[in-house]
Structure 1
Amino acid sequence: MNYLFNEIIDRKDGLGLKWNHLEQAFGSEEILPMWVADMDYANPQPIIDSLKKVLDGRILGYTAPPESLYNAIIHWQKERHQMELSKDSILFSPGVVPSIALIIQALTNEQDAILIHDPVYTPFSNMITLNKRRLVRSPLLIENNQFKMNFKDIEKKIIEEKVKLFILCNPQNPGGRVWSKKELTTLAELCKKHGVLIISDEIHGDLIFSPHQFTSLVTLDPSYQDFVLTLSAATKTFNIAGVKLSMIYIQNPKLYEQVSYYQECIEHSGLNTFGYVATETAFSKCEPWLKELMINLSDNLETITTCFDTELPNVSYMKPEGTYLFWFDCSSLRLTDEELMEHFVRVGKIALNSGAAYGPGGSQYLRLNFAAPKELVEEGLKRIKLAFEN
């Protein structure tokens, strides 16, 4: 089936952040946006049809999550990730970042230490500091152009800082690592040993390149259910970020009660009708679309790595094992992080994410979003090459 992944859709003059806030973010509208992590692909047709059906009802009143939505989520997680869920272990949230904030508020106190990797998805650190918790970073190692966890440093930080919570990104954003079972087990055992809770952000868990295999942390040992809270959504996988719905899976009844109670206190659980409908449709009807998507993303990734290997052989990069994000080193340009961004905007006419935003360990890197029609990816590569050559 042809899902038109090479159709170029005009996203300008709409509400989308990626294409319509370039002046505010980069100081120019005449650039190619390959930054914000949503896709430049049309949504799966079953999702569009299901949302149209809601509108055809002509009344947008209050709603609640139906049993069929719970069933779709439970089936998806069991079949794809071997996660055993029940309705009573699922909470809904507007998004992964709001979920992180909610859990921080519900399960930690002000000035408690929370540990994250460096570099890692920017909102992790933002939610920690905005909620007046102490931010602790463990720098990732780089071996064979891939991130590796520094377990000695992690345990040292846990002990010295009296860490209460670890926030994990799996698959890793921005580097695209899909953590192995051995790595995940080692991390979980350290946290178990020292009484540290884990938030496992697994929103990219369905976007995995062969032969790599994603493992949900909580599935590795039944005891991990006692201290691991898993965050997931259909939004990244099926390009529906705008419907604002994600899930928190908590299999420890006590932790579930604590988070659920705090959610009620701040009226955090009244969610979007379209989010319920789109998520259920995604998990129940759109797996064929996902298979086609991964073929397209794999092809784009091959195009990118071939370009870097042949046209920019002195530029190192991390080939992602998952996600649709490409992380590459720009230190050869000998520019500051601020000058680097300005250079790619001014010379390359392209909008990318600054690596420095992901923590000190991201300095001198840029992040490219390659979930776009091949024509746009090829144009983006021309602009990146131009920036390196000038």
Structure 2
Amino acid sequence: MENDFDKIINRKGTNSVKWDARKAFFGSDTALPMWVADMDFDHPDSIKQALHELIDHSILGYSLPSDQLIKSIAEWQKSRHQMTISEENLLFAPGVVGALGVCVQALTSPKEGVMIHDPVYTPFSSIVEHNGRTLYRSPLLIENGQYKMDLQNIEEMFKAHSIKLFLLSNPHNPGGRVWSKEELLELTALCVTYQVVLVSDEIHSDLVYSDSTIYSPVTLDDQYKEWVVTLHSATKTFNLAGTKLAFYIVYNEEIKNKLQFIQSQTEQGGVSTFGMTATEAAFSRSEGWQKALLTYLEENRQIVMDFFDKELPDVFYMKPESTYLFWFDASILNIDSMQLKQTFVDVGDIALNDGQSYGESSGQFMRLNFACPKSVLLDGLNRIKSVFESVR
């Protein structure tokens, strides 16, 4: 039955990173995996049907993006994100992380500065460093239980250093923060003033809860179109990471040409036929499933917060305004950040992402993925509780 998010799907033995790489990443074959950001839910029937039809009726050779795919992306971005785009504004990529790498290579030179927030999704820093650019981190502030941009710090670093690129996680991973319109306006204005290209990774932007509103920087002022590159994909929202397709939205022709040049050098412009088929079906025929998913995730979010409030009232957490990721502070355990992840494995038999990998300021945090059936979620929460009860 479609939309049966309580259904348990056995993913063991399917070469799933989340389930079958537990031994490699956590030293345990039994730890409950609530780490890597994919969901333990079945896909919409519309996507499965489209993929079946592709296999039944086509030779799986080289394929071009179809008019239907481009139309589905344009209509989705218009209705969900107030973005008017045409085929000329689109470039395709196998994934958002690879697209970030292309942006770094195309829009900066070796040793030039790239800024990110701290903490932020791990590949933001590794991509910059692996490409020989200078990494600058702007620590996020915590106010009223949520992350907030330190815009004064950002401007000071723009003034002091040769920073050419800002990589933004919008909404924020791992904190789940949906940036305010005012923050995005001020950040983008700073980028324009100091001639810094803003790359907005919006892969989680369709997983925003009913009490928040997402904004894309490129839509806030027409002049921002010359300075913003937007990255997006259907893969997080519809659990399609394995189909490998993302896209850039670029209005500045010079920037687009630079990106295409690096794509041609690295062969990063070719995308999967499966990804194109799945993405078109997701955006054009799966809206009902996405709405049902958000309802279920919002219920799970409430279960997690209620559990922490009742069972672990001394543990600080951030209410996720988006994503299916829960970010909590384990500092009351008084365990070195290098040992936190393994402690949760050894004591609670649960696999979580450790905060230290996201930045220097979040070493005592842990990240929980709650995109799973409620029975699994409750099991995981009780395992987390056992760690706090056993270690303290």
Matches within 5 A, 1:272-351: 272-351=272-351
Q: Does 1:23 align with 2:34?
A: no
Matches within 5 A, 1:153-192: 153-192=153-192
The aligned residue for residue 383 of structure 2 is 383
Matches within 5 A, 1:98-117: 98-117=98-117
| Deviations 1:63-107, CA, capped at 9 Å, x for gaps | 111111001000000011100101001000011110010011111
| Deviations 1:184-215, CA, capped at 9 Å, x for gaps | 00100111111111000000000011120111
Shift of 1:62: 1.1
Q: Secondary structure at the match of 2:301?
A: helix
Q: Secondary structure at the match of 2:60?
A: coil
| Deviations 1:286-326, CA, capped at 9 Å, x for gaps | 00000000110000011000000010000000001000000
Shift of 1:361: 1.2
CA distance in 1, matches of 2:268, 2:300: 38
CA distance in 1, matches of 2:280, 2:347: 44
Q: Secondary structure at the match of 2:348?
A: coil
Shift of 1:58: 5.5
CA distance in 2, matches of 1:107, 1:382: 46
Shift of 1:2: 5.0
- Please tell me whether the aligned partners of residues 338 and 356 of structure 2 are also in contact (alpha carbons under 8 angstroms): no
CA distance in 2, matches of 1:386, 1:228: 45
Q: Letter of the aligned partner of 2:165 in structure 1?
A: L
| Deviations 1:324-361, CA, capped at 9 Å, x for gaps | 00000000000011221111001110000000000101
Q: Which moved more, 1:337-346 or 1:370-379?
A: 337-346
Equivalenced residue count is 390
The aligned residue for residue 40 of structure 1 is 40
Q: Secondary structure at the match of 2:225?
A: helix
Structure 1 residue runs of 4 or more that deviate by more than 3 Å after TM superposition: none
Q: Letter of the aligned partner of 1:299 in structure 2?
A: E
Q: Letter of the aligned partner of 2:112 in structure 1?
A: D
CA distance in 1, matches of 2:286, 2:362: 35
Matches within 5 A, 1:50-89: 50-57=50-57, 59-89=59-89
Shift of 1:43: 0.9
Q: Secondary structure at the match of 1:290?
A: helix
Q: Secondary structure at the match of 1:361?
A: coil
Where structure 2 has 5 or more consecutive residues not aligned to the other structure, the ranges are: none
The aligned residue for residue 223 of structure 1 is 223
Q: Which moved more, 1:253-262 or 1:86-95?
A: 253-262
Q: Letter of the aligned partner of 2:364 in structure 1?
A: Q
Shift of 1:59: 2.1
CA distance in 2, matches of 1:124, 1:265: 21
Q: Letter of the aligned partner of 1:350 in structure 2?
A: I
Shift of 1:30: 1.0
CA distance in 2, matches of 1:266, 1:363: 35
Shift of 1:266: 2.0
Aligned residues: CA RMSD: 0.9
The aligned residue for residue 366 of structure 1 is 366
Q: Does 1:268 align with 2:286?
A: no
Q: Secondary structure at the match of 2:361?
A: helix
The aligned residue for residue 136 of structure 1 is 136
Q: Does 1:120 align with 2:111?
A: no
TM-score (norm 2): 0.98
CA distance in 1, matches of 2:146, 2:73: 32
CA distance in 2, matches of 1:183, 1:270: 35
Shift of 1:261: 2.2
Q: Which moved more, 1:56-65 or 1:95-104?
A: 56-65
Q: Which moved more, 1:155-164 or 1:139-148?
A: 155-164
Q: Letter of the aligned partner of 2:8 in structure 1?
A: I
- Please tell me whether the aligned partners of residues 2 and 45 of structure 2 are also in contact (alpha carbons under 8 angstroms): no
CA distance in 1, matches of 2:279, 2:339: 41
Shift of 1:57: 2.2
Q: Secondary structure at the match of 2:166?
A: strand
Shift of 1:265: 2.3
Shift of 1:234: 0.2
Q: Secondary structure at the match of 1:362?
A: coil
CA distance in 1, matches of 2:175, 2:370: 13
- Please tell me whether the aligned partners of residues 181 and 215 of structure 2 are also in contact (alpha carbons under 8 angstroms): yes
The aligned residue for residue 8 of structure 2 is 8
CA distance in 2, matches of 1:342, 1:262: 40
- Please tell me whether the aligned partners of residues 2 and 44 of structure 2 are also in contact (alpha carbons under 8 angstroms): no
Shift of 1:125: 0.2
